[in-house]
Structure formats: structure tokens, C-alpha cells
Amino acid sequence: MEQLRQELLRSADESVRQSGQRFFKEPVMLLGVKAADVKRIAASHFRQVKGKDKVEVFALCEQLLEQGYIEEAFVAFGWSYGLRKRFAPEDFAVFERWVDRYVDNWATCDSLCTHSLGCFVEMYPQFVENLHGWARADNRWLRRASAVTLILPARKGLFLKEAFELSDILLRDEDDMVQKGYGWMLKVASRSHQAEVFDYVMARRVQMPRTALRYAIEKMPAEMRVQAMKR
């Protein structure tokens, strides 16, 4: 772990750190390592740990998450996704704790949810029901995660009913990060279910925040977008 951290620090650049901060409204902890370098370093060190027991690897991931740096969170979530063939139902509690305790920005939220968690709910669809509780949480990142977790399955046309249910819960959420999250989920779902998503949006476009609405219809034909955006 010390070798990994030292390698990240050697790859850090102050200009990258300052540039990265501009992508966030809230203060975040950045080392200043380019995404490609983080991915390379994570892969290099994963070769040393992937043969270990999954519980032990998850414990190492948590050590990284405790530091609070975005780059170390990317390593942790990359490692967890590398173990996806070994996911088991009890791992949901681990992922839920990670979102609730360690995720504090959109980048780490999406990194975990669009990979490990999305893969997990495809393997164990009964846990999609748990996302309804996340959608009602006080924690804004749990609420965003409830929607973003379904993006990976939505690319395959899965969980449309559940995507609509979560969108109903999040519909009037005042947090723009949550609005963008469920709008993104609907946009991805529209690739396989354009008519159904369009009908859903049209039925709720008065109540739906414009941010979420724009995201949801972004990939639809121009005439549909114009119709949906009418006051």
C-alpha cells in the first residue's frame, strides 16, 4: 500500500490538481494524477493482490478510501470491479457502506456505481429493491447512487420498470447532482426503450426539474426534444 501511494505521489502534478478541482462545486481532495496514470498504477498493483481472499482485498480498498483522495478511491473501486466474478450477496453491505461513508463527490459516486454496483445488481437483481431506500436517504450521494447504479444494466435494456420507480421517488429532488443522476439513467434507458421513456417524461415534464429533463431527452430525435421542452 505504501508503494502504491508513493507511485501515485510521484505521478502527481500541481497543475493537474488545480485543473481537476474546477470540475467540482464542493472542495475535494486531489493528488493531481492523470486518469490514465491512475488506471495504470491501479492495474499494476492489482496484479499483486488479486489472488488474495476477497475480504482481504476489500479491506485494502477501504484503507485507500479512508484517505479521502479521489485517485485512491478510483484505485479502490477499480480493484473491487476486478473481483466482480467473485461477487456474492453479502457484498452489497460493503458497497452500501462505501457510498454512505466515503463517497463525497460525483466522480467517486459514478466510478463505484457504474462499475461494481451496476455489475452487482445484474448478478443479484433482488437488491435493486434496496435502491429505493437509497433514493429516500438524506445523503445526496446515496440518492444519486440509487439511479446511477442502474446505468450499466440500462445499457442492456434492463430494469426499465425499476428505473421509472426510482425516477418517481427522485422526481422533485432539489439537488442538481441527483437530478443529473436520474436524468442520465433515463437517457441511457431511452436507447433501448425510447418510446417508453418519452411517454414517462411527457407525463411528468411539468414536475420534472429542467436539468433532469434535458439529460433524459438528450439522445432523442429533435422533434421529441422540442415537444418535451415545451412549457
Enumerate helices (H) and strands (E) in the chain, giving the number of each: 16, 0
**Amino acid, single-letter form, for residue 95:** F
Nearest-CA neighbor of 166 among 134, 124, 188, 192? 134
pLDDT on residue 61: 97
pLDDT on residue 35: 95
Q: Which residues of the chain have pLDDT under 70?
A: none
DSSP state of 26: S
pLDDT on residue 26: 87
DSSP string for residues in 74-137: HHHHHHHHHTGGG--TTHHHHHHHHHHHH--SHHHHHHHIIIIIHHHHHH-GGGGGHHHHHHT-
